[in-house]
Amino acid sequence: MRPVRTAARSMLAAIFVVQGWAAFTSPARLAGRAKPVTDRLEPTIKALHPSLPTDAETLVRINGAAQVAGGVLLATGHATRPAALLLAGSLVPTTLAGHAFWEIENPQDRAQQRIQFMKNLGLMGGLLLAALDREGRPDLRWRAGHVGKTLKRARRHLKDSSPIPLRRR
């Protein structure tokens, strides 16, 4: 199943690497659409730390860098769960800024942006599945239960077996 996981992660990561690189290298082209979202986030960012940047271009560039880094990690199979969560987090402002179909009057443009919004929701679902994927390894709850059952069996076995007599010399 590993080749399928590798291919699926690479396919999922590709759009983030490409679009993230475009945002990182040319943030001015996206900053206008991002400004309403970044303006709403400004008080939160300032509350976290006053020296953090709040201008739209810088935040678009940071989001693009996060998408490139997360996409590369996901595609290469390194830190896939954190990478998927990073990409899911970066997708939220991207979707809100880029595909606010509810604000568009023209029916054709509105339909097109709704499709893009739904595409991003689908990507979010894929990223959440990637974040939860344990590659067939059991989770901590299963392991703890398995250890508990093994200890019960061992205790029962020790209780049922007769003691071994010690020899005196």
> Which strand (E) or helix (H) includes residue 49?
none
Does 11 fall in a domain? yes
Q: What pLDDT, on a 0 to 100 scale, did the predictor assign at position 167?
A: 64
- Is residue 106 pLDDT above 60, yes or no? yes
Does 110 fall in a domain? yes
Q: What pLDDT, on a 0 to 100 scale, did the predictor assign at position 166?
A: 59
Cα 150 to chain centroid distance, Å, stands at: 35
Q: Rounded mean pLDDT of the chain?
A: 89
Q: Which domain holds residue 85?
A: 2-137
Q: What pLDDT, on a 0 to 100 scale, did the predictor assign at position 165?
A: 61
pLDDT in tens, 112-168: 999 999 999 999 999 999 999 877 777 777 778 888 888 888 887 777 765 666 566
Does 90 fall in a domain? yes
Domain count, the chain: 1
Structure tokens of 148?
């508990």
Question: What pLDDT band is residue 23 in, cutting at 50, 70 and 90?
Answer: very high
Q: Per-residue b/e over 1-19, b at no fewer than 16 CB within 10 Å?
A: eeeeeeeebeebbeebbeb
